[in-house]
A and B are shown apart, each in its own frame.
Chain A
Amino acid sequence: MLLPAQAATSTRADRAVVTRGLTKRLGRITAVNDVALEVPRRCIYGFLGLNGAGKTTTIRMLLGLVRPTAGEVHVLGFPMPEKRRDVLLSVGAVVEQPTVYPHLTGFENLELTRRLIGAAPASIPRALEIVDMATPARRLVREYSTGMRQRLGIAIALLGSPELLILDEPTNGLDPVGIEAIRELIRGLPVRMNATVLVSSHILSEIEQIADHVGILHEGRLALQGPLAPLRAGGKSLEQIFFEVTRVRGGSPQ
């Protein structure tokens, strides 16, 4: 489903992410099917879906890691993958578990990415301060807990002062204290970094507490998308909304 060119252009200006007809087929399986995401700028967009719904594949297409079978992707106004470099200079991402090298210190991990994105050396202490990791950054990552690795992964993603931060399942494997810490961190990012945050999760309560927009992906299709407040106007929880949507789309209760 493609919007008329003029309408699509005007939409892209105030949207951090716009996709049209985004589809990815993997053999006979359609992992992502005709998805039209619209992520407003400077919001926290909760990208929801069950395991295997296609969230990670969609995120990988936004980052140019996976080529779409069909459709188009615009990130921060640039088409992907045509303007890959322009996009990736302004995007920070943690896809699934954070990529950190255990044989290096936290600081050395940050230094590698800083060099690859061409950020200033001062960006490292700034990112460490945001995630509250200044002291442990001198230790080898193999000594870190899961929560510390997650925070280091987010610090790496913040190095280039991104306009768009993509976090895929950022609380996976964390204990309640770690979840709370990451939640507070994400909540503060739009104001602190003037950034848009797209956070994917299958944990509805997490998204409900931090997101102001949501998109629900079900069996590869975008089942619902919009601001969270109007959706909850009738007193429904996000969980109720999610199950209503996925029942209708999926044909059976989850």
Chain B
Amino acid sequence: MKPAGFVGCLIVEALKLRRTMALALAILLPAAPVAFFVILILSQGGAEFSQSAHPSAMIVLGLVGLWAVFPLPIFAAVESSLLASVEHQNRGWKHIFALPPARGSLIAAKFAAAALLVTIAHACLFVYALVLFRVLPMLEPAQGFDGPIPVVATLAVIAACAASSLFVVGLHTFIAMRWASFALNVGISLGGILYALGVLDTRQAKFIPWALPALVHKVAVPWIFDLPGAHSEIRTLTTAIAISVGGFILTAVAGGWLLSRRDVF
């Protein structure tokens, strides 16, 4: 697999995303936790956030938490299925594998495109979070949400969340490319999320792909916002992100190896 060949394949994958549900979902779905958060503030007044010692940290903790625990792992499964369905539905594998680029480059580009979609989703979540910080003082002027916007800290938390989701993205991208069934991929995701919720407060959480985003969000916010007692969690944070990034690379390499050796009927 040559780097130039891979880059060419990745550009083609990016061009293929035009007018797709996968791209629309990456842009729109991160708005859901923001909208939910706004409804929460409007219905309950937001006093639990504004009256805490660290209101900005609490807002980011709540917002990213709403995203990381459930929508993000499901999004990883759905968007990888949508990405692979572009080929499954149009019998595209036989076409692209009958073209000169190495199969490894074509498959690696799919994994990279899945990671690109997750990055786009988190970039959107960041933008929506900044909009939320702007809008909150207008929604609840009495609550004193008019402090400085923690741009860098919010970006750091969301970037950590994105990195922690790579393992689950890699797993679901492999499943989606190998099997055309949408139900299988989403079913595995739901099972993984339920199991992750059960082990989130245990030591094994950092080894469960579906638990990594929630775990990282839980420990990243106190550390990034420098809350008391946060430094003891930095090891968990770095380990979880390393496992996620390493898991993605391992899944892409092993999955790519398996997929590139299959007969294409």
Contact = CB atoms under 8 A, between A and B. Distances in A.
Interface in A53-103: 60, 63-67, 84-85, 88-89, 91, 93, 95-97, 99-103
B99 A88 contact: yes
Contacts, number: 75
B95 interface: yes
Contacts of A156: 95
A60 B94 contact: yes
Given A93-B98, A99-B94, A112 B265 contact: no
Nearest to A159: B99
B15 A116 contact: no
**Which among A60, A91, A99, A116 has the greatest number of chain B C-beta atoms within 10 A?**
A116
A117 B95 CA distance: 12
Given A101-B92, A103-B20, A116-B9, A64 B98 contact: yes
Given A101-B16, A104-B19, A63 B91 contact: no
B91 A97 contact: yes
B12 interface: yes
B254 interface: no
A95 B15 contact: no
A100 B95 CA distance: 9
Given A65-B263, A104-B19, A116 B94 contact: no
A104 B18 contact: yes
Given A112-B16, A113-B99, A101 B90 contact: yes
Contact of B264 (A66, A88, A89): A66
Interface in B1-31: 8-9, 11-12, 15-16, 18-20
A206 interface: no
Nearest to B86: A101
B4 to A, nearest CB: 10
Contacts of A99: 90-92, 94-96
B259 to A, nearest CB: 13
Interface residues on B, range: 20 to 34
A115 B91 CA distance: 19
A132 interface: no
B102 interface: yes
A108 B15 contact: yes
Contacts of B97: 64-65
Contact of A102 (B8, B90, B94): B90
A116 B100 contact: yes
A144 to B, nearest CB: 13
Contact of A65 (B19, B90, B101, B264): B264
Interface in B96-112: 96-102
A26 to B, nearest CB: 9
A85 B8 contact: no
Contacts of A95: 94-95, 98
**Which among B15, B98, B102 has the greatest number of chain A C-beta atoms within 10 A?**
B98
A94 to B, nearest CB: 9
B94 A118 contact: no
A33 B90 CA distance: 30
B91 A116 contact: no
21 contacts: A60-B264, A60-B265, A63-B98, A64-B97, A66-B264, A66-B265, A84-B100, A88-B99, A89-B100, A97-B91, A101-B86, A101-B90, A102-B90, A103-B18, A104-B19, A108-B15, A112-B16, A115-B11, A115-B12, A116-B101, A117-B100
Given A100-B90, A116-B100, 11 more contacts: A64-B97, A65-B263, A65-B265, A88-B98, A91-B98, A93-B98, A95-B98, A96-B91, A99-B92, A115-B15, A116-B99
- Ranked nearest first, the 6 interchain pairs of A and B with the lowest CB-CB distance are A99-B95, A65-B264, A63-B98, A66-B263, A88-B100, A103-B19
